Structure 1
Amino acid sequence: MQSAEDAKPADGAAAALLAALTRKRRLDAATPKESALWLLDRLLPDAGVNNVPLAVRVEGRLDTAALQAAVDALVRRHEVLRTVYLDRQAGLVREVLGEDTPGPRVVVHDVVAGVPEKELREFAASPIRCDGRLMLRVTVFRGPDADTLAVAVHHLVFDAASVPVLIAELAAAYDACAAGRELPAELRAPAPALREGTPREESLAYWRTVLDGFDPAGLDLDCTRPAPARATLVGDTVLHALDDETRDLVRGLQRTLRAPEAVILYTAFCLLLVAHGAGPDLVVGSPVNVRPPEAQSSIGYHVNTLPLRLTVDPGRGFRDLVKEARTAFFGALAHSDVPVDAIAHENARETVSWRDTLFQHMFNYVPVESSPALTLGGLPVRPLHVETGFSKFDLELFVQSGADHIGLRFLYCSEVLDRADAQALVQRYATLLHTVAAEPERPVGELDVWSAEDRALSASGTARSVPDTAVEADRDLDAFRASPDGAALALAAAAARCAADYGYPYVVHPLDARHVAVVGRAGNRLPAGVRGEVCLVRLDGATHVATGWTGSLRHDGTLELYGNAERVVLLHGRAVHPERVEAALSAHPEVTRAALVVADGTALAFVTADERPGLTDDVAAHAARLLPRAVQPARVIRTEALPLRPDRGWDTAALLALAAAEPESEQDDPDGLVGDLCGLWRDLLDLAEPARADANFFSLGGHSLLGAQLVQRVDDVTGTRIKLADLFDNPTPRSLAQHLRTPRDDN
């Protein structure tokens, strides 16, 4: 058997793992908070979405032997850095390795660039797996005349508050090891292990009361796209520093409203979300450090995210909203011992993806204090900003507040937000802060949220150049340049083409903004990137004539049409344009026509096509590749013809009768797999009888943790291991059975 020294060059934790096999192992079940992170790992096993990276630029050459000794010392000192996790089908378990466990091997890479930005991004984004090894990595990127030290730690054992502690202790240990001195006494002593207690019943009752009746479906923004069928969580960042005038106005509000700066900035963030279609009943997540005062230097995952709820009444002033936000903020802090994952599943709601949590937006306020210059072995050190390239939420606002500056970092999910829209949100937030500071008593519904850039684009009336990939409609749109009446004809022609070409969204260009506007619910004209009703502008420039179509003006001057506003239906609490689903279904080569009907919260798709075995499954799989999960039909039904009403709309009653009359077909389940899965649905969801073949697991009350159990049960019953993401992609017994029957290379 290898000795610890023999194993160390391959992996510093290998020896400890070998030793662990020879002794009785204590494996503890993970907490709900830890399990939530693990589920995200299982959804995206090849992404470092849970990594917490940090890096420093060292003006000189590091002694890698001394660095290795320093890393080993920190792992010995902190129990949490010796905590490993094992991914079991039934759940996540953890184990604390012995005090003799060495740290991970320090890896050295030679690089050409001064600051290896590409290498740092790849390092930060590479996953740290729950496979029994230590949950951190250390790498030195060796440049021509300077080194870059990079560390990545899994969020399960680390958080943002741990970063300065780790850097300070690593520097002190490195200095001692590089000089050949004994470690300082405080680094030789084991760090106290911080154990978070069980949430108080009083706190659990508080959050149940606060969140009672909240519907997370109202959190979608009018400037975002629906999340794709399979998430990647690819993210990007926009940075912005408030100008001195706005900073001083905000801090003046802090005094006049007698509220912390964090509360003022959070309230303004809620206003920004409401102005873009969310709410008015909002929940925004806000992380808080739950370390007790005597343990502020503890390394670990000691953050709870508070679901801050605020209802934005447009008739009230900003001052009143700040008072309500302050009450919510301090009430949440007083009951911060409850991890949100312990109560998230108590809210009765339909879930169509892992994203459907209590919140989709985060607010993170971090006071920044000046710190002494850092050195390593006497060499000057400069901190570097490192991003993983992922975002767990649609939008996260990080505020760094210092004595003379307020910096904003908007982290957004690129799957649902374009960069131009994210940049516009940052500018609008800065504008909003300036506006509310100047008029804190004015009803917030009357405040101008749009930035100077928005107003300039709206007033220009000039279309910008557009990509060649945009759908050409110039011959119909010459009339746009002539008059609003001509614009009406051209828009009708574009709408007809939208239906005929099955395009979604349908891009119309070029436009003259003098004749076309997108209007919000309150009748206000919306800026680029924000969805609303497409209206024609009369020659007086002030009168809007509604067209009945939903759309948005893009930043390049084009118009996107989404569908007829009168046909919008609610599915899982979200507004859905049936045209989009019908277009995706009709794009299947065997489908001639398609209709979507939503009844009792379930989307039923009806298609006309020649009959053949497996057709409806193929059509459903085809639609799943084109549509976000939230708008995918739960069931596809083939029919000879689609019944119409006299007004040419779908005869919904006749279609629903057709669906009710269609029996479960045994030929669609030749091996009995669908029936077996229907039984699993019944057992896990506590149903009175086996589920139907088209029963959506999440619509019936399933959630991620139950989904992980279902994945294990599927393995037990079928002998085939699937991923949790496969269940999200195939949430019905019929679709999951089809997935299980399909040969695939990876498992």
Structure 2
Amino acid sequence: MQDRDPIAPSTHATPRERPARAAERALWLLDRVAPERAASNIALAVRSAAPLDVAHVRRALGTIIRRHPALRSRFVLVDDVLTRRVDAVGDDPSIEVLTVAQEDADETLRRFAERPFAFSPDQPAAGELRETDGEPLIRAVLVVTPAADTFCVVCHHTIFDGTSALLLTGELVRAYAALSTGGQVPPDLLAEAADFTPPPPGTDSLAYWHEQLAGVNIRSMDLRCDRTRPAQPTFRGEQHIHPLSEGAHDLLGNSEAALQATRNIIFLAAYLLVLARHGAGPDVTVGVPVDVRGGRGRGAIGYHTHTVVLRLDMERPGTFRELVTLTRDTFLAALGHADASIDDVIDRYGTCGGSAENRHFHHMFNYFDFHTSVEKASWTPGGADVDIVEVAPRHSVADLEIVVRTRHDRTELVVHHGTDVLDRTDARALAGRYDALLHSALRAPDTPLPDLTWHTDLDRRALTPPPVRATPWRGGVVAAIAAHARAKPDAIAVVDADTGRTTSYAALVDRAARIRDDLGDAGIGPGKIVALDSARTAATLAGALAVWSLGAAYLPVDHAHPAPLTARRVAGARIAAVLGRPLDSATLPDVPTIPLPVPRATGPWRDLPDTGTLTAGTLAFVIHTSGSTGSPKGVRLTQGNVHHAVTTLAAGLGLDAGASALWLTTFTFEPSSLEVFTPLVLGGRVVAAPDAARHDPARLTALLARHPVDLVQATPTVWSVLAPALEGRCEGVHLVTGGELLSAATARALLSTGGRVLNAYGCTETAGWPVMGEISPACVANQPPRIGRPTGGHRVDIVDDTGRPLPPGLRGNIRITGPAVADGYLNAPLRHPTDDTGHRTHSTGDIGRLCADGTLEVVGRADRQIKLLGLRVEPAEVEGVLEDHPSVSRCGVITARDAESPSLVAFVETTATVHPATLRAHAARHLPAPAVPSRIVAVSALPRTDTGKVAHTALHELLDTFPPDTAPADPHRPQLLDGHVTGEALTERLTSAWRAVLADDTADSSTDFFAAGGNSLLAVLLSERVEDLTGHRVSLGTLLIRVTPAALAAHLAEAPSPATPPSTTKPGAS
């Protein structure tokens, strides 16, 4: 038997077994949900420059373990009840000793700290929960390097907390110091400490918290920098330490008296404010741990911390002083009811924010007064220099936790964040903004909250881009084309790809001059609008030049459009003439129709007269928005808009004089102006493609083989059809895609062509592509590609709902400023506003963010963003996930109309036979449960606008024509129809499990387990029963997100065949 110091029995009664408290059960459940993550482990470590004696370390630690019952505790299941059991006093514990290189010491400590504890070494038999014993919830290691020895103790949170770490460290070092100098362990460390257990929560406190937290919407706490939550959290995390700036630290000294609040309250108020600035709220909740030891538990090691949830309406305070007062009053009220933790409240009243959501907060705050809690001077055993070692955890249960640690001479912010939701760059940026905001608030606490500075130096640099500038006006597009005709009249300007017929610059300008005469005879002049036939022909381009040379503008009309649509557009534009083919008589207003003349076979060509009367502000054409998400609007684009757009594109791509482009896009879609006028301004050629080439990969491939070009552009929808057929055929070609969000799958297909792929962003109200970036294979490895950076002297701002610019990393409304912004809308009294430099600005209605490297990431349309079960859902993200499935070429997602509750419907364009259940399972692996479409409809072709975009408005009408999915049934597994499982045997078995565990015979296939009264222990029972009935082993993590028998059956339908055969007991049998 090992030598050990006798422990004097405690004078207090120490129960050796008691039911676990709600907070302990919550941590136990967390380990069952993610057992490999060790998310509840707490590590402490001390490092000594002098070698540590292993025997003395073991003796010291054994003394402390024997002294504190909490350190001898483990959790077992007794008659289906989680029970905390205290082991009898034992011998000194074993300590691992690891000798490593100096540079490997910290990583060795982290790996040791991340090793999970085994609550139960043996799994109970299927369908049975029996008494089981796990390993002790404390372990230790001594890491030896040539320079120092580091002793590390790791405890599970169910027996330990932050205060315990201080107590354990202090007692451990005292015991070791005595032993290492030949003495005896101090007598006070040989007395068994009382086994303190916080009293049960009072009914008044439970009622208080129930009222305080009523109606909390946890999803309103999502930050503008959050990523989409995964279907099942990993609890991976990182830690970052941010030293508080000297300016903010120095201001703290006088702030407590000035604001009538302690430092922890001031720091907490600043944290609430920075969360609100990052998009939380205005109803903001924060979890705050409170030590509940009180007088009886002072000095007790164990889990004696209650998390209370502070809830503040951030719209109430007007200044930081008022916010501090509100925070102080809210915190003091919480302290008065801290006997009930949030786990007690959940245990009593159930969950909020959806059945799988067992928290009322995403963010936590803690404050640690280091210089009053820790006296390093006493930590010098045997004269050795001992330091506390930070074992940075790589897990995080909260999305974000900031721990403020104050010392005599400095303050630091310890930032823990979950990597599922926040990345390192955003977490560090938030800490810097917290610092800046605190500094600003302490300096001027009576400043209105919106006016407090919160930008870091890095933010300010990013928000101060180069000045907006326009391309110098030198006569515009018409003057440039006319100059090329004079310089090289026989050079080819336009090629008809179908017939091979060519039009020279001289012929193009000559025809424009003749059309100009006809238009002039009809009274067309400056300010008039002409309806122009949009056929992709040289005659159309000649007509556009003719219109512009008169100072007039054109409205492109497509004869394939429905007559009522054309009628509305020409009436709204108040056209003065029709140029080209006649319009339908019912559509045509009382204006002349001027046919486009055929080219002359002989004779000298005519030049266009001087166009010196044209200015950058002259209206060039009216183009209508695509109408993919709403009613089309006529946009007024000027000569300056067009000229700047084409010169910017040419410069951005590095196109040389004589470059060629494929005219693939319909002339009624604004980007088509880039395809025709960019090469013509450069003296190059336009290759006009037939309509069929936009949807026929074989025809496009043959066309490009006959007529090589330098530039091809199309929307992602069109590219998703064409790109796969062009693999390896586009070397040296610039492939531009824009107008919609580009999925990773389509981007990869474009890259496979061998061309230079550029992702572009703009809208009808901004001529051309104000933002563009090149795509590389690394850009699309795991996510849709970003757009790029502003081009051509434009400025892109991400702004909040009040129009204030947001710093990099935060989502907001995309606003573009610069020479590409249109004059305004047709017949609208207000034009686009101008900024303080005089340049027009346009709020696009899109949601995006500027990344740290200056690139733009577009998330989706603000008018398509929806909330389901409190979760913000971007349909564009759902579409991107489904388009990554190899059987899906394109996808459109809408919200079902007239439903009792909102639900997503996904239309997928596919030629393969793929069951909706397969696609839903694919989506469920990448999306949170509410974002998985409840219905998936397969079609051979999605409805498109004339620009090639998916027509989301038309999908609602299309949905009404489709009955519930009727894909062929697979006899070997249940089938999913409209999100419900029809495999009756499996559904019946799962429903029987729900009924048995919940003791509720009314449960059916749609019963939400947690909403119906399920909890953590019952979920364990359910997982065992499901395995018994189906043969499938189901983790608690799966049950937390698939909470109904129908949802779980859909998941099991896609799972591999179970290794364990199901029980032959009939459902419902006992």
Return the match for 2:102 from 113, 126, 138: 113
Following superposition of structure 1 onto structure 2, how do residues 531-542 of structure 1 map, counting pairs within 5 Å?
A: 531-538=811-818, 541-542=835-836
- Residue 313 of structure 1: aligned partner: 315
Of the structure 1 ranges 115-124 and 277-286, higher mean CA displacement relative to structure 2 is found in: 115-124
Q: What is the alpha-carbon distance in structure 2 between the residues aligned to residue 275 and residue 690 of structure 1?
A: 43
User: Which of 803, 813, 828 is the aligned partner of 1:523?
Assistant: 803
Is the Cα–Cα contact under 8 Å of residues 533 and 551 in structure 1 kept in the other structure?
yes
Q: Give a deviation string over 1:367-408, Cα, whole Å, max 9, x none.
A: 122512412344331111111211111111100123332211
Distance change (3 Å), C-alpha of 1:524 and 1:706: farther
Q: What pairs with 1:235-250 in structure 2 (closer than 5 Å)?
A: 235-250=237-252
The letter of the residue matching 2:319 is G
- Residue 509 of structure 2: aligned partner: none
Q: CA deviation at 1:487?
A: 14
Distance 1:626 1:403, change over 3 A: same
1:629-652 deviation per Cα after TM superposition (whole angstroms, max 9, x unaligned): 452234545567778999751444
What pairs up with 1:683-702 in 2 under 5 angstroms?
689-692=1002-1005
Could you say which residue in structure 1 is the equivalent of 2:922?
Answer: 622
Q: Deviations over 1:685-714 (max 9, x none)?
A: 788855346x76568786655533432332
Query: Is 556-565 or 664-673 further displaced after alignment?
Result: 664-673
Tell me what 1:675 maps to.
988
Is residue 404 from structure 1 mapped to residue 404 from structure 2 by the alignment? no
Match of 2:52 among 43, 57, 62: 62
- Code of the residue aligned with 2:847 in structure 1: it is T
Equivalence map 1:238-317=2 (5 Å): 238-313=240-315, 316-317=318-319
Question: Retained in 2: the 8 A contact 1:219–1:360?
Answer: yes
CA–CA distance in structure 2, aligned partners of residues 281 and 477 of structure 1 = 48
User: Contact (CA 8 Å) 1:576, 1:631: kept in 2 or not?
Assistant: yes
Instruction: Note the C-alpha offset of 1:653.
Output: 7.1
Question: 2:22 maps to which residue?
Answer: 32
Distance 1:594 1:459, change over 3 A: closer
- 1:623 positional shift: 1.2
Please give the residue correspondences for 1:578-593 in structure 2 after superposition, counting only pairs within 5 Å: 578-592=875-889, 593=891
Q: Is the 8 A contact 2:217 2:353 kept in 1?
A: no
Residue matched to 1:43: 33
Aligned counterpart, 1:151: 153
Secondary structure in structure 2 of the residue aligned to 1:237: strand
Distance in 2, Cα, partners of 1:424 & 1:699: 38
Instruction: Give me the whole-angstrom Cα distance separating, in 2, the residues matched to 1:732 and 1:586.
Output: 27
Query: Which amino acid in 2 is paired with 1:590?
Result: S
- Residue number in structure 2 paired with 1:174: 176
Compare 503-512 and 281-290 and name the one that shifted more.
503-512
Distance 1:135 1:349, change over 3 A: closer
Q: How far 1:111 sits from its partner (Å)?
A: 1.2
Q: For residues 115 and 629 of structure 1, what CA distance do their matches in structure 2 show?
A: 41
Counterpart-to-counterpart distance in 1, 2:1000 and 2:841: 52
The count of residues paired between Structure 1 and Structure 2 equals: 710
Counterpart residue number, 2:789: 510
Amino acid at match of 1:388: P
Note if contact 1:480-1:511 (Cα within 8 Å) is conserved in structure 2: no
Q: Which structure 2 residues correspond to residues 8-27 of structure 1 after superposition, within 5 A?
A: none
2:931 aligned residue (631, 647, 659):
631
Map of 2:211 onto structure 1: 209
Asked if the contact 2:921–2:1051 (Cα under 8 Å) also holds between the matched residues in 1, the reply is no
Cα 1:291–1:699 shift into 2, 3 Å: closer
Q: Distance in 2 between matches of 1:648 and 1:243?
A: 50
Deviation at 1:292, TM superposition (A): 1.2
Q: Partner amino acid for 1:144? A: P
The CA distance in 2 between the partners of 1:742 and 1:129, in whole Å, is 27
Shift in Å at residue 591 of structure 1?
3.5
State the alpha-carbon separation in 1 of the partners of residues 379 and 136 from structure 2: 27
The answer on whether the counterparts of 2:399 and 2:417 sit within 8 Å (CA) in structure 1 is: yes
Q: Does 1:440 align with 2:445?
A: yes
Matched with 2:201 is 199
Pair 1:520–1:314, CA change in 2 (3 A) = farther
Q: Bigger radius of gyration, 1 or 2?
A: 2
Identify the range of structure 1 (409-418 vs 246-255) with the bigger mean alpha-carbon deviation: 246-255
Amino acid of the structure 1 residue aligned with 2:904:
A
Decide whether aligned partners of structure 1 residues 108 and 89 sit closer, same or farther in structure 2, where only a CA change above 3 A counts. farther
Query: In the TM superposition, what are the counterparts of 1:419-438 in structure 2 within 5 Å?
Result: 419-438=424-443
> 1:655: how far off?
3.3
Distance in structure 2 (CA, Å) of the matches to 1:649 and 1:384: 59
Cα gap change, 1:586 to 1:687, in 2 (>3 Å): farther
SS of the aligned residue for 2:340 comes to: coil
Which has a greater percent of helix? 1
Alignment match, 2:1027: 715
CA distance in 1: counterparts of 2:301 and 2:908, whole angstroms: 57
Q: Which amino acid aligns with 1:327?
A: D
* Alpha-carbon distance change, 608 to 303 in structure 1, aligned in 2, over 3 angstroms: same
Go from structure 1 to structure 2 and tell me whether the alpha carbon gap of 1:26 and 1:227 turns closer, same or farther (over 3 Å shift): same
CA distance in 2, matches of 1:626, 1:460: 36
Residue range with higher mean Cα deviation, 193-202 or 641-650: 641-650
Hey, what's the Cα distance between the residues in 1 that align with 2:310 and 2:455? Answer: 25
2:333 alignment partner in structure 1:
331
SS state at 1:74 partner: helix
1:352 positional shift = 6.5
CA RMSD of aligned residues (A): 3.7
CA distance in structure 1 between the partners assigned to 2:92 and 2:1031 by the alignment: 37
Q: What amino acid maps onto 1:713 in structure 2?
A: R
CA distance in 1, matches of 2:141, 2:672: 60
More displaced 10-residue stretch of structure 1: 419-428 or 340-349: 340-349
| Offset of residue 684 of structure 1 | 5.8
Give the direction of change, closer, same or farther, for the CA distance of 1:744–1:712 in structure 2 (3 Å limit): closer
Greater RCO (Cα-Cα under 8 Å, separation 6 or more): 1
Greater shift, 495-504 or 407-416, is seen at 495-504
Identity %: 32
Q: 1:478 to 1:391 in 2, by over 3 A?
A: farther
* Pair 1:494-2:738 in alignment: yes
| Preserved CA contact (<8 Å) 2:789 2:854 | yes
* Counterparts of 2:646 and 2:1057, CA distance in 1: 48
**Unaligned segments of structure 2, at least 5 residues:** 5-14, 121-133, 469-644, 653-669, 675-712, 716-736, 748-782, 820-833, 976-981, 1062-1070
> C-alpha separation between the residues in 2 aligned to 1:48 and 1:500?
33
Cα 1:90–1:568 shift into 2, 3 Å: farther
Gaps of 5+ in 1: 13-24, 464-474
Structure 1, residues 514-555: CA drift from partner, whole Å, max 9, x if none?
422111111111111010111111356545311121110101
Q: Distance in 2 between the 1:207 and 1:629 partners? A: 28
- Per the alignment, do residues 114 and 638 of structure 1 end up closer, same or farther by CA in structure 2, a change over 3 Å counting? closer
Aligned to 1:16: none
Give the counterpart letter for 2:193 in structure 1: A
Deviation at 1:63, TM superposition (A): 1.8
Q: What SS does structure 2 have at the residue aligned with 1:238?
A: strand
